[in-house]
């Protein structure tokens, strides 16, 4: 990286955990659908699927319903992976005095979310620490007259030391203040 430009990549939906859960939901819903249809036709559609002890109504009917529901959910999750929803980058350019936040959204005329802010409008960096069973640390960019913009990957667990190091390096680069806000969630 150049000393005047910093660019941080954001993975968005394209993470291994999303691929894993999409495949699990697809395979599970296919199993439910095949078992429900096998109970309707009173024949096993696959040799390793045992459906003789399952009555079509209500068990088979409910399995078909859950199979179709899971199938559509896995298609939706697969499309979010394919489109790369939420992925993009954060660019901080001292040379040209701007901050650029870029993310990919749903297909359509507003698919590209491309935000530019002047260097002078940056007020500071804030770290939000949500304590509780599942502690979360989120880094925000504070901009004059606008809402705060999250800079970290949502759902990516970072330790307090990692987020503190990242926040202090960014605040030093931007030459702005750093604040840490702790809240407890139960």
Q: Which domains does the chain have, with CATH numbers?
A: 16-83 (no CATH), 86-184 (2.30.29)
For tokens 């691929």, name the residue: 19
The predicted pLDDT at position 102 comes to 96
pLDDT > 70: percent of the chain: 95
Structure token pair of residue 42: 């009173």
The predicted pLDDT at position 44 comes to 80
Alpha carbon separation from 95 to 5, 98, 118, 139, 171 (Å, rounded) = 7, 8, 12, 23, 17
pLDDT tens for each residue of 94-131: 999 999 999 999 999 999 999 999 999 999 999 988 87
Q: Strand, coil or helix: what is 31?
A: helix
Give the confidence band of 155 by pLDDT, cuts at 50, 70, 90. low
| pLDDT above 80 for 185 | no
d(CA 17, CA 33): 24
- pLDDT: is 50 or 166 the higher one? 166
| pLDDT above 80 for 40 | yes
For residue 89, is it left (φ>0), alpha (ψ between -120 and 50) or beta?
beta
| pLDDT above 80 for 14 | yes
Specify the DSSP element, H or E, that contains 156: none
């Amino acid at each position: 990286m150049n000393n005047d430009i910093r660019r941080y990549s954001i993975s968005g939906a394209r993470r291994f955990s999303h691929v894993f859960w999409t495949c699990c939901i697809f395979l599970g819903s296919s199993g439910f659908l095949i078992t429900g249809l096998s109970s309707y036709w009173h024949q096993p559609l696959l040799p390793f699927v045992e459906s003789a002890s399952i009555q079509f109504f209500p068990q088979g009917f409910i399995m078909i319903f859950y199979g179709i529901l899971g199938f559509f959910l896995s298609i939706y999750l697969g499309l979010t992976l394919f489109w790369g929803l939420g992925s993009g980058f954060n660019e901080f350019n001292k040379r040209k005095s701007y901050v650029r936040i870029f993310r990919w959204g749903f297909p359509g005329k507003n698919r590209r979310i491309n935000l530019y802010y002047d260097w002078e409008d940056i007020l500071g960096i804030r770290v939000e620490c949500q304590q509780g069973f599942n502690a979360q640390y989120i880094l925000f960019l504070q901009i004059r007259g606008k809402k705060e913009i999250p800079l970290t990957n949502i759902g990516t667990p970072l330790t307090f030391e990692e987020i503190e190091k990242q926040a202090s390096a960014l605040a030093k680069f931007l030459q702005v203040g750093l604040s840490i806000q702790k809240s407890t969630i139960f």
